[in-house]
Structure 1
């Protein structure tokens, strides 16, 4: 602030000196012109006045010299007035553009929030986001502002992609997985291949299983198929994992590809999870069989095809143990 004030003061001093520099030549010019007119008048009256009336000569010289000075000031005033009018016209035009631009922005914002209000989605989150974004914009840290801008741009890109029926991101997006489980209302059908086997010992897996347990408590049917190629991959560790999930109310089974009917073998695919029969979450592996991309697809044709594959596999397998334990109800505690 001090630097800005010093810069403004220095600029004001430079402007003042510049105006004084321009004012001095103008004053000198006016003085010289007035003196020349008065001197020339005195000379002419001295030549023409045969009576040599000095008072009359001085009076005429002073009057004409004063008239010349007044005329110069009137010309100068007219020039300044024209300049001021031009400046006011320019300022008026700029202000008009600013006001029109402000009204356009207000109209766009009003139209946007009207569309949000008409949408079936809740609008309070949009208002909170807009309000928080303006507050972040007042932060002094440029890093924080850039980070907020990047987050907003990424969120906008995700929303635009979802509006077109699909979106994706590099690697595994665990936050999407857990959020979708929290939003799930009816069914959750999932496959699990060796690609994500290490996932079940990670911290995101604990949060994911917790979200599934909560989903089961509110009445969501959760089914999971662990897919393996041959009986040797059906290890005790995998059996324990399957039993632990059944204890949470998840209907978990193990499907061995070599033991499946031919029709079911043809349906094997990458990891996918179908939420409420409406949206498919998929993991796409790379050449090293490591999760390389996460995709969300909601086109009806794709979701129905994945549901069909899951049902074929599910019908071709047998439960690995007793039925999953029912979730405790609020009444039973």
Structure 2
């Protein structure tokens, strides 16, 4: 059945019902005429009148039904449009607020915009998307902790922070590395950092930073005075010297006051941020697990600067190579 046939069907029904009611009325009028001797014209007029009333009533009922349907559809459309407009204004408000935050952020605006553009280019692969979301969540947590508390913790050894800080350092890097004995009595520096890929890359970044004018002071705190003659430690000292860093050794008898009980590995960058790495625990027959922390609170960073300067003054310069 086509559209015209569907539209014609209700009209045919209305006309048919009107004719039926008119016919019934005419028959009843005929019967009444036989009893009362009224004219045929009266019966015809009455049947037409009743049929017309039936037709008009059907039309009014159908019109009311159509108006109700149109009202419901209009309400649904208005509600849908209202929700879309509200959502659009909310997105516009959020975008405006976000842009305002970007403009007032202490970091470079272009970097934040580049991050947003890069997020839009992430492939729609489910695994890749989940990885991107996890990395964004990590970055958001890092920035939140850095902005609110000034301290950021990481369970483990974080290479990105360390190498990134060396890359962006502009003035100085002061480093304290504690040298302790392993189970065989051999000295271990910075929990074995310099024998791993991270230590090698750190020295490469140190060389680049020295070329920019950054001053590096490396202090090795020895758990035993005999470590000063250890071949591996001497080689490490020379490696730092070759890339342009200044190195001193601090033996137990030269450690001032009670500092020996509170020493740990830390680096101070530009005297404004402290990177600290401390052993969290040690697995049996395995290397110690580390905990890394970034500190930006001025009072705590000042304490690290003061502690380093105190230890540096008490340390001894390494004799030049023969």
Q: TM-score, normalised by structure 2?
A: 0.82
Aligned 1:228-247 pairs, distance under 5 A: 228-234=222-228, 235-247=230-242
* 1:303 equivalenced with 2:301 (yes/no): yes
Shift of 1:281: 0.7
Q: Which residue of 2 aligns with 1:7?
A: none
Asked if the contact 2:256–2:311 (Cα under 8 Å) also holds between the matched residues in 1, the reply is no
Mapped partners of 1:291, 1:66: distance in 2 = 96
Within the candidate set 116, 120, 125, 2:102 is matched to 116
The runs of 5 or more residues in structure 2 that have no matched partner are 1-5, 179-187
Mark the CA change 1:129 to 1:55 in structure 2 (over 3 Å): closer, same or farther: farther
Within the candidate set 93, 117, 121, 1:131 is matched to 117
Within the candidate set 51, 69, 76, 1:90 is matched to 76
Q: TM-score, normalised by structure 1?
A: 0.79
Asked if the contact 1:267–1:312 (Cα under 8 Å) also holds between the matched residues in 2, the reply is no
Aligned 1:8-19 pairs, distance under 5 A: none
Asked if the contact 2:170–2:270 (Cα under 8 Å) also holds between the matched residues in 1, the reply is yes
The runs of 5 or more residues in structure 1 that have no matched partner are 1-19, 324-333
Q: Return structure 1 stretches of 4+ with deviation > 6 angstroms.
A: 26-29, 52-56
Mark the CA change 1:270 to 1:39 in structure 2 (over 3 Å): closer, same or farther: farther
Asked if the contact 1:264–1:316 (Cα under 8 Å) also holds between the matched residues in 2, the reply is no
Range with bigger deviation, 51-60 or 198-207: 51-60
Mapped partners of 1:270, 1:53: distance in 2 = 123
Asked if the contact 1:166–1:296 (Cα under 8 Å) also holds between the matched residues in 2, the reply is yes
Within the candidate set 176, 198, 215, 1:191 is matched to 176
Superposed CA RMSD in Å reads 2.9
* 1:282 equivalenced with 2:276 (yes/no): yes
Asked if the contact 2:22–2:47 (Cα under 8 Å) also holds between the matched residues in 1, the reply is yes
Mark the CA change 1:144 to 1:57 in structure 2 (over 3 Å): closer, same or farther: farther
Within the candidate set 137, 141, 153, 1:153 is matched to 137
Range with bigger deviation, 236-245 or 50-59: 50-59
Mapped partners of 1:284, 1:41: distance in 2 = 105
* 1:227 equivalenced with 2:221 (yes/no): yes
Mapped partners of 1:28, 1:230: distance in 2 = 111
Asked if the contact 2:191–2:288 (Cα under 8 Å) also holds between the matched residues in 1, the reply is no
Mark the CA change 1:125 to 1:85 in structure 2 (over 3 Å): closer, same or farther: same
